[in-house]
Amino acid sequence: MLDKTKKDWWKSAVAYQIYPKSFQDTTGSGTGDLQGIIRRLDYLKTLGVDVLWLSPVFASPQVDNGYDISDYRAIDPMFGTLDDMRELIAEGKKRGIGIMLDLVLNHSSDQHPWFLEAKKSKESPYHDYYVWRDGTPDAPPNDMQAAFGGSAWEWVEEIGQYYFHQFAPQQPDLNWENPAVRREIYDMILWWMDQGVEGFRLDVIDQIAKEPDEGITGNGPRLHEFLRELSANTFQKGCLVTVGEAWGADTERAKLYSAPDGSELSMVFQFEQMVLDQQKGKEKWDLAPLPFAEMKKSYAKWQKELHGTGWNSLFLNNHDLPRTVSRWGDDKEYRVMSAKALATMLHGMQGMPYVYQGEELGMTNIRLPIEKYRDLETLNLYRARKEQGVPEEEIMRSIYAKGRDNARTPMQWDDGENAGFTTGTPWLTVNENYHTINAKAALDDPDSVFHYYQKLIALRKQYPVFVHGDFTLLEAEHPQLFVYERSYEGDRLLVVCNLSGQQAAYALPQGWEDSEVLIANAEGGLDGTFSPWQAMILYKAKV
């Protein structure tokens, strides 16, 4: 177990993201719950993870599956009670697993008591908790668009003003310029720290310092000032791991966020690689092939730039992204091989790896008729593109490739009814491939994706070079192979991944032929031929 009294214990940790709604139901309601997570803690312990990031479980009308919080100190009854949360924290601690809560601090639900008061009158002390502008019903302050479509301004007739919402109208943005808002947030975080949580993920944190009159939402001028104040008043009072979601982060900004002095956060999620397979300047739905060399160079840049100056987060999946094995791997013939190859590519790097539920099983995307989708982003997109006259097939192709429900289908535990997720009716369709892709089968199979992840996670704990080593990209232009070296105090790793469905010829660099194979997803390779999706990590100890 990691020594969590050390400030930077998380540098050798591995996190696992749970989407609670889809993880494990214990009541037959069709949605997952906290008791379900407790039931599966031993499974997670077997995998070897140290931190559990839970997507929001706070009280919420669930317009955006909990990313619209109506009470930051209460658990939504759908998931259980505060006592269940306390039990989860305690049971996690027994197993060396800390709980990381997902705080949505950029906006609240429109059902939050603050907002209900705020919209009653301009004189309410809560009015200034949100972002308001004057206007007339037919003329919003400007033409800023919400991330989920439509204007970012919503008219409130009663007080004759517009409020600003970056996401759905039911997610009004909080006004961080108001010190009273900031104080409320600090008190709430301190309260959760008292409950024993070990970390926080901060939703869209790069959006909090907005200047909507200037059209600025991300990376506003006061962003890092706010973060330093937040951190000094809360996180720095304990030994926490914190990660901010920052779509707008480049490496320079990431160095501020994740400065080694701990003045802001431990790290951020950046998305530079995740937007490569879309047409430049367009939306994620506007598909384009992954530019492989560009992807490698982008990872290499982040690895190099943040080495010694910040910290990376490493992820290929989350609740907003499609399943990587379907996206960048091969979810058919080479599903197991490609899932392992992509994992090797990522887990060999420096930073904190995040495994998203089901990734360790090689779970795949899903294709559903439109009426079966539940995600508001997907449904809004469908409606909007229909109105624009985009052909049905093209819209569905985008949704199959990038829709958020790909990641949100229920966790596949076994080959029983509803994959062992629920005895009721699942809130979102279970992927029919659960008969073969499920945790029980994976645990029984020594060659499963699960056991491969288990080994990758264990290697990080065993060899300091995984945690501390520097990074050198090799074969930058090779169209199939992702190859890099890590090195730390004379210890070296060579990571070679064939990320293609074709054989690749590759002679190992001199001196590596007789090295130790720490992990590999197939035999061979050392003779210069890599089979489709073959990957391995080689090790050489200091001489």
The contact set with ligand TEU (CB under 6 A) reads: 64, 67, 104, 147, 167, 203-204, 245, 247, 284, 319-320, 377, 404
381 contacts 287 by C-beta, under 8 angstroms? no
Nearest to 209 by CA among 232, 177, 186, 249: 177
Rounded-to-integer distance, Cα 304 and Cα 444, Å: 39
Which lies closer to ligand TEU via its Cβ, residue 206 or residue 485?
206
- Give the torsion sign (CA, 446, 451, 452, 456): negative
Task: State whether the Cα torsion 59-63-66-71 is positive or negative.
Answer: negative
Minimum CB separation of residue 173 from ligand TEU in Å reads: 10
Residue 246 or residue 493: which is nearer to ligand TEU going by CB?
Answer: 246
CB proximity list for 29: less than 8 A, separation 6 or greater: 78, 422, 424
Closest approach of ligand TEU to the CB of residue 270, in Å: 12
List the 15-18 sheet strands across, edge first. Answer: 267-269, 241-245, 199-202, 98-103, 51-54, 15-18, 352-356, 313-314
> Has 245 been annotated as catalytic?
yes
Nearer to ligand TEU, 154 or 245 (CB): 245
Shortest separation between residue 18's beta carbon and ligand TEU, angstroms: 14
Minimum distance, C-beta of residue 27 to ligand TEU, in the bound complex (Å):
24
Least distance from C-beta 417 to ligand TEU, angstroms?
29
E-strand ranges in 146-287 read 153-156, 161-164, 199-202, 241-245, 267-269
The CB-of-475 to ligand TEU minimum distance in angstroms stands at: 31
Residue nearest ligand TEU, CB atom distance = 67
Distance CA 484, CA 475 (A): 8
- Nearest distance in Å: CB 281, ligand TEU: 16
Tokens standing for residue 435 = 């008969």
Q: Which is nearer to ligand TEU, 27 or 219 (CB)?
A: 219
Concerning whether 102 is annotated as a catalytic residue, the answer is: no
Catalytic residue (choose from 25, 68, 203, 320): 203
Which amino acid is residue 17, in one-letter code?
Q
What residues contact 514, with CB distance under 8 A and at least 6 apart? none
Q: Which residues pair with 86 in a beta bridge?
A: none
User: Is the CB of residue 356 less than 8 Å from the CB of residue 407?
Assistant: yes
Backbone angles phi, psi at 178, to 5 degrees: -85, 115
Nearer to ligand TEU, 30 or 218 (CB): 218
In order of 127, 156, 169, 368, the CA distances from 137 in angstroms are 19, 8, 15, 38
**Segment holding 118, helix H or strand E:** helix 113-118
CA nearest neighbour of 312 among 274, 351, 345: 351
Residue 399 CB burial class (10 angstroms; 0-12, 13-18, ≥19): buried
Nearer to ligand TEU, 109 or 500 (CB): 109
Closer to ligand TEU at the Cβ: 145 or 503? 145
Q: How far is CA 105 from CA 97, 192, 204, in A?
A: 25, 14, 8
- Of the pair 328, 413, the CB lying nearest ligand TEU is at 328
Of 103 and 336, the one with the shorter C-beta distance to ligand TEU is: 103
Q: Which two tokens stand for residue 134?
A: 């004057």
| Cβ at position 374, least distance to ligand TEU in Å | 13
Rounded CA-CA distance 232/224 in Å is 12
Identified catalytic residue from 245, 264, 360, 375: 245
Q: How far is the CB of 369 from ligand TEU (least distance, A)?
A: 21
Catalytic residue positions? Answer: 203, 245
